[in-house]
Structure 1
Amino acid sequence: MSTGQPNPYPRLLADIGGTNARFALETGPGVIEDIDVLPCNSYATLADAMRSYLEGAHTRAVHHAAIGIANPVNGDRVQMTNHHWSFSIEETRQALGLHTLLVLNDFTALALSLPHLPADELVQVGGGEAKPGAKALIGAGTGLGVSGLLPAGGDWVAIAGEGGHVAFSPLNDDEAALLRYAQTRFGEHVSAERFLSGPGLELIHDALCVQAGEAAGQLSAAQISERGLAGRDARCVRVLELFCAMLGSAAANLALTLGAVGGVYIGGGVVPRLGEFFTRSEFRTRFEATGRFAAYTGAMPVYVIHSPYPALTGVRAALRSHLGEHDA
């Protein structure tokens, strides 16, 4: 929402996840500076975190701000799915003295960044060359984000959805056993996010522990990743293998749904940290295991995003569009 005031710089940009809030200033057209990451749990409200960042940045008055947030954005009231923050967009705008406060889903923002990401910040995992057409986006972090980018008259339209919460679909007996275990904890509906996220690594590990007659809750996601990547804990290695394979199927489903001949992009904090383990995993095999459409998905390139703060670029693009501006 905007009051139609002038559009001076600096502008506040933010990418709010369930764990961390990333802030930056756009100090001139396309110039993003003063990036800082604040832990969400250190602040009672989003407004408190925004004030803390602005005070630390010692900036002059900010009139326009845009935020990508890990949550559906439908109307004025926002209640985060994986964090306790709940706020009114308009009340927050007024409390911070902003002319404009644009709030959009974080993966919608990340999708808007895709055409602007440098090639050297993308690692391709199989497939051929991207073709003109839709791009798919999926990424595991505190939750599972899903979006897409559709070509529209020389521009792009980002999809705002909650595809991470579709029902998880097991492909084999091992994954069916994981689903049954999750249903004992969460009920009949088990979303893809339950497994394909940081907490999902813990859930997979818990299920394997219980299957072996041991107690659940032994390791954190960080410990599972560290031990699995080091290769010194067979169970943690198995967790990462299952995660990568299941993500391959989820990414293929999204690619088929969108017709993502323009490529499939993987964001979020989990996969980039897996490095070569992910490249060697069953991800690509499962991505191409689409029956009669194996050649179709087999031709699609998959890119792992290694940009440090890509969503901020997408937030910047969304704010410029909201203010009626266009890149030269």
Structure 2
Amino acid sequence: MPHNEINIIADIGGTNMRVALIDAQGEIADITIYACADHESLAFVLTDFMTRHQLMGKTINACLAIACPVDKDLIVMTNLPWQFSQSQLKAQLKLNELVLINDFTAIAHSIPHLGADQKVQIGEGNVIANKPISICGAGTGLGVANLISIDSCWHSLSGEGGHVDFAPVDEQEIAILQFLSKKYARVSSEQLLSGLGIEQIYQALSFVKNGEATMLSAKDIAGKALSGECTLCVETLAQFCRILGSFAGNLALTLGSYGGVYIAGGIVPRFVDFFADSEFRKRFEAKGRLSSFNQPIPTFVVTEEQPGLLGAAAYLDQFMSEKSKANYTNQTTNTTRY
């Protein structure tokens, strides 16, 4: 990055928005958290941040990771009454560059930059450099992304992988599917691998075991499972881990994810020890005659607190580097024409 340019990054969720600077050493600095509901627009928040740090009038590049589709100029946020035009926002704030990426794309781009203290390995396996990487994140929903390396650059392959069909592998999971099939015309993996999913697994198991679908929040289920005070809660969380293992293993089979499979999102990092002792890894590897394919593939839980900002910073750095190379090539090509 030229010394006279300033990089801003942001991770924008439905509740909070985190904005930060990239300092001269390339580190994330001056993280500021805004409650989205307290502000009228994204432009207002960014203007406030830029004013606080005396950035108005300077050459600014911004990368915003946002929890909604970003493939059109008009951005309409899913969980906020904010909407804006990308081109108008860039002009209004007088930005040199404005790059918008999906929030899970940002998480994906953080993965190659995680240190040993920002992730926890679950089971065996070794990362093979520059091989495909898969990421799934259970939270409000189930996010999925994949990374592939092309010409020393990482490219995110995003989609709606969390909405693939739920595939039960034993009698208990068949019973869970049968329970949920009475509620939904189609049961996706997200219906089990999310906060709501934990609650629905609990309801299904309580119905199967006791004949009544008892209601309990995901927070309470996890709390009672980790304390050991409720055997049904323990089984619910254990079942969640098993299903996630099968799902993550399917990602590895699909892409050949020898760069590793990473578990992100807001749920699993809250009970890493329980997760490590669960049958997650066993299920990840249990792929019949293809089990030997998955066994050497490593699996990790992302424990970095700000993967969205880290990924936005990585994405912006790569974007600006590629643009610089393209400009240099164009200038060189133009020069040789004379």
Distance (Å, rounded) in 2 between the aligned partners of 1:84 and 1:200: 26
Q: Which amino acid is the alignment partner of residue 219 of structure 1? A: L
Distance (Å, rounded) in 2 between the aligned partners of 1:36 and 1:241: 37
**Cα gap change, 1:69/1:183 in structure 2, threshold over 3 Å: closer, same or farther?**
farther
The gaps in structure 2 that reach 5 residues or longer are: 326-338
- Aligned residues of 2:272 and 2:301 also touching (Cα < 8 A): no
How many residue pairs end up in the alignment?
Answer: 318
The answer to whether residue 30 in structure 2 is matched with residue 24 in structure 1 is no
Which one of the candidate residues 95, 100, 108 is aligned to 1:111?
108
**Cα gap change, 1:181/1:143 in structure 2, threshold over 3 Å: closer, same or farther?**
same
Distance (Å, rounded) in 1 between the aligned partners of 2:55 and 2:313: 19
Which one of the candidate residues 25, 28, 34 is aligned to 2:30?
34
**For residues 169-225 of structure 1, what are the alpha-carbon distances to aligned partners after superposition, in whole Å with 9 as ceiling and x for unaligned?**
22223223333333443x323322222122322222233344434465x43222222
The answer to whether residue 166 in structure 2 is matched with residue 168 in structure 1 is yes
The answer to whether residue 39 in structure 2 is matched with residue 66 in structure 1 is no
SS in 2 for 1:28: coil
Q: Which has the greater radius of gyration?
A: 2
Root mean square deviation of aligned Cα: 2.7
- Aligned residues of 1:15 and 1:106 also touching (Cα < 8 A): yes
After TM superposition, the structure 1 = structure 2 runs for residues 1-328 of structure 1, keeping only pairs within 5 Å, are 8-43=4-39, 45-51=41-47, 57-61=52-56, 63-81=60-78, 85-132=82-129, 133-185=131-183, 187-211=184-208, 212-214=210-212, 216=214, 218-323=215-320, 324-325=323-324
Identity rate of aligned residues, in percent?
Answer: 43
Q: Which amino acid is the alignment partner of residue 300 of structure 2? A: Y
**Cα gap change, 1:100/1:174 in structure 2, threshold over 3 Å: closer, same or farther?**
same
Distance (Å, rounded) in 2 between the aligned partners of 1:33 and 1:91: 27
- Aligned residues of 1:7 and 1:64 also touching (Cα < 8 A): no
Q: Which amino acid is the alignment partner of residue 13 of structure 1? A: I
230-239 vs 277-286, which moves further:
230-239
Distance (Å, rounded) in 2 between the aligned partners of 1:80 and 1:179: 32
**Cα gap change, 1:35/1:269 in structure 2, threshold over 3 Å: closer, same or farther?**
same
**Cα gap change, 1:85/1:202 in structure 2, threshold over 3 Å: closer, same or farther?**
farther
SS in 2 for 1:260: coil
**Alpha-carbon offset, residue 127 of structure 1:** 2.2
**For residues 232-279 of structure 1, what are the alpha-carbon distances to aligned partners after superposition, in whole Å with 9 as ceiling and x for unaligned?**
122221221111111101101111111011111111111111121000
Distance (Å, rounded) in 2 between the aligned partners of 1:237 and 1:52: 46
**Cα gap change, 1:322/1:313 in structure 2, threshold over 3 Å: closer, same or farther?**
same
**Alpha-carbon offset, residue 163 of structure 1:** 1.3
288-297 vs 220-229, which moves further:
220-229
TM-score (norm 2): 0.83
Distance (Å, rounded) in 2 between the aligned partners of 1:164 and 1:54: 36
Distance (Å, rounded) in 2 between the aligned partners of 1:245 and 1:270: 14
TM-score (norm 1): 0.85
